[in-house]
Structure 1
């Protein structure tokens, strides 16, 4: 008998199953005719939809099995799509997403709905590369993505920084008339912001006119803040106030970030205090983290520590990490050690914190302490994250690691980079060897610096793109001081705009200047 087991929902997608809901499911399964062999694709599809609605995927798998035995799947796309939707209804569940992909790959006939269902599930489930590949397959098959799929693919492009495809998807959305949908516009804004093209994001925003929502405005405020355009973020908030648009918590995250990256301590404090007083928004942990970041960047480390100790909730690793970052910036060993003691308990597996403390010790010339931190990492089984940088050329993403010799054009890349560094030296560049946390002589440190991944990515980009093309580099770690100084000079030498997205923010290098104004 085809029947769900009451009270035993799959652990991957748990939902409360009331007696009434289970009765509905039993009725749908009985009506399907799967148990008696009298089912049709339509009745089996109805049963699959009932399983999806309740999140009862164990029963759903039984529907799938019975449908296969009765040879109902090849009849049309109706039943396979219903099963696909059922498996995709829990996109965070890798096992059922695998079943969805297997079903999709074995479907005798796929339609646009088949692609839209799976593509959205992959994107939402974090399988970004697979989602983008499927989108391109969908286009090749002549299928039309719907608005939901466009939103999901734009989000996926934002996650991996693929602006070439993101721009293509946005153009498609405009041709289809999807940009009347606020969700599509919001997704496009987010994609352009995260891909390093804040001007394109602002063009979408301005084109929405009075259709913007608080979500749209908050996204744009955060975008300006991430790109070092804090003044534009503050202007946008002032316009919100004039137009009577109520801000939300995300709005204030953007405002506090803007103040942090501009060193506007008093303004940031005023925004923080106004949240509850003027807008009835209780500050959350992320707002406290922003305030600690603001104070720490400005060098007010002890004030930041007092702020943490006065928090109404337990500070998390983000809060202590912001303090540690400030200690690194201002080379304060005492505060750095205080922060790392807390972080070792809250987030013991995060290598980044130990690397920052090593930086602080190295800046102070305390090499024995640097070695001690490394020994501690080894004892805890913490490995340093491999740094990488990527640059997209003609739709292909090229990845580089420090000292990378694996690229087919490695020799030409290194020759190009060495030429750029020679010219940079003639313009006053002096390698900042303090960022190399190895006890070696300066000449060897300079050789290490000269092959940092972001430098290699930029050299390759300059070699392979036409003059005047903006280079967009994505880096998984924070850009170092030496690379930051070099990028400013290379932007001037090559006459190019270079946008680098690191772990914390965007740096837009143009004509020898960075958008962060060297406050980062």
Structure 2
């Protein structure tokens, strides 16, 4: 468009910003934001501002999303919902609940997506009674029929809080047919609380609904492993192989000098791998002195302790972080992305590293953003 002399409209900008949101292209999104500020007619567009709030929130730059929100003269349900969801996904769920109250006070009615963000926020802050209240108000007050996404959030909320029986009861009473997302929420809660019997039932439902998805097989295998039932875990892995189902490999990636650097567990293919492994050894030794103890429950194979420790030390997210410590300038945020849920041991290690190396680390896993600062995570260890 630029080469042909065409001037982008607010709709063009909104579309490109949405693409930045989908691909977590924060740097490109910032450039587009700068362009919009300098271009007459775009600097005060509600559509562009809404896209900016969404882009910053979905790229893990929640403070920038908040700054755009505060600068806006006009806001609508999309504006509020974008930040409500953004807060929830960035470990600031309590801010989501406060912002919802502001939205209602401003006379703006919530929509279907607003409640997904609210219930997700409740699930990740343990706000059980608030979640029940929001869920009940959907149809009774706002005339919005709960969908599978809302039920999944409620089942996740109930399951996380240990109310697995109530979660199963809600699933049985759903007004819509439970889909895979709902069963995954129940299975995830069972994994968290090591509830084998209900976990087996949820996994079997998922085997039928998504026969080629490796997730229920892996989670059930992990449940068996955590319980020390190594033979049952091996049977599940064998069943996967017989059915031609391959596990999605865990990978983590980070960007430096305009390039994306991707790592898998115990990866040795990167050109800087010797320095990366040396850095990991340094980091692990340092955080152990500070009190870090490797959590062997996250090793899902039966092996000697030394092998388990090495396996944990070389997880993909730790390799990506070691690389970041080597190449990202001091004071700059280290941003890491992971395609699966972050390992609990890595989560603990990252807290220690953020404190001892005085770094702000942002890790986006398959569930949410984790902001590690001064030895703490924005999720409050509840993710």
What TM-score comes out, normalization by structure 1 length?
0.72
Say whether 1:490 aligns with 2:353. yes
Residue 292 of structure 1 pairs with residue 155 of structure 2: yes
Number of paired residues?
Answer: 382
Match of 1:429 in 2: 292
Give 1:151 shift: 2.0
Kindly indicate whether the alpha-carbon contact (under 8 Å) linking 1:162 and 1:392 is maintained by their aligned counterparts in 2.
no
1:203 equivalent among 39, 61, 67: 67
Asked if residue 147 in structure 1 is aligned to residue 40 in structure 2, the reply is no
**1:212 and 2:75 matched:** yes
Which residue in the other structure is 2:279 paired with? 416
1:191 aligns with 2:84: no
Matching residue of 2:4: 111
Q: Deviations 1:207-232 (Å, cap 9, x if unpaired)?
A: 113x1110110110000011111111
Residue correspondence of structure 1 range 294-333 to structure 2 within 5 A: 294-333=157-196
Where do residues 105-184 of structure 1 align in structure 2 (5 Å cutoff)?
111-113=4-6, 145-177=8-40, 178-184=42-48
Q: CA offsets, 1:76-114, max 9 Å, x none?
A: xxxxx9xxxxxxxxxxxxxxxxxxxxxxxxxxx96245x
- 1:161–1:474: 8 Å Cα contact kept in structure 2? no
Task: Tell me which of 456, 475, 491 is aligned to 2:319.
Answer: 456
Separation in structure 2 between the aligned mates of residue 110 and residue 245 of structure 1, nearest angstrom: 41
Structure 2: 5+ residue stretches without partners: none
Q: Note if contact 1:328-1:360 (Cα within 8 Å) is conserved in structure 2.
A: yes
Q: Is the 8 A contact 1:268 1:291 kept in 2?
A: yes
**1:502 corresponds to which of 360, 365, 369:** 365
Separation in 1 of the partners of 2:225 and 2:178?
27
Give the corresponding residue for 1:403: 266
- Give distance in 1, aligned partners of 2:277 and 2:33: 36
Give 1:439 deviation, angstroms: 2.0
In the TM superposition, 1:338-377 aligns within 5 A as: 338-377=201-240
Cα distance in 1 for partners of 2:8, 2:295 equals: 49
Compared CA separation, residues 436 and 345, structure 1 to 2 (3 A):
same
CA contact (8 A) 1:112 1:145 kept: no
In structure 1, the gaps of 5 or more residues are 1-80, 82-108, 114-143
RMSD between aligned alpha carbons? 1.5
Taking the aligned partners of 1:154 and 1:314, their CA distance within structure 2 comes to 34
Q: Which has the higher helix share?
A: 1
- For 1:45, the equivalent position in structure 2 comes to none
Mapped partners of 1:324, 1:112: distance in 2: 54
Q: CA deviation at 1:252?
A: 0.7
Q: CA deviation at 1:442?
A: 1.7
Instruction: Kindly indicate whether residue 362 of structure 2 is the aligned counterpart of residue 469 of structure 1.
Output: no
* Residues in 1 aligned to 2:211 and 2:367: alpha-carbon distance in whole angstroms: 20
The structure, 1 or 2, with the larger RCO (C-alpha pairs under 8 Å, 6+ apart) is: 2
TM-superposed CA distance for 1:146, in Å, is 4.1
Structure 2 partner of 1:257: 120
1:340-390: per-residue Cα shift (whole Å, max 9, x none)?
111111111111221111111111000011001101111111101011111
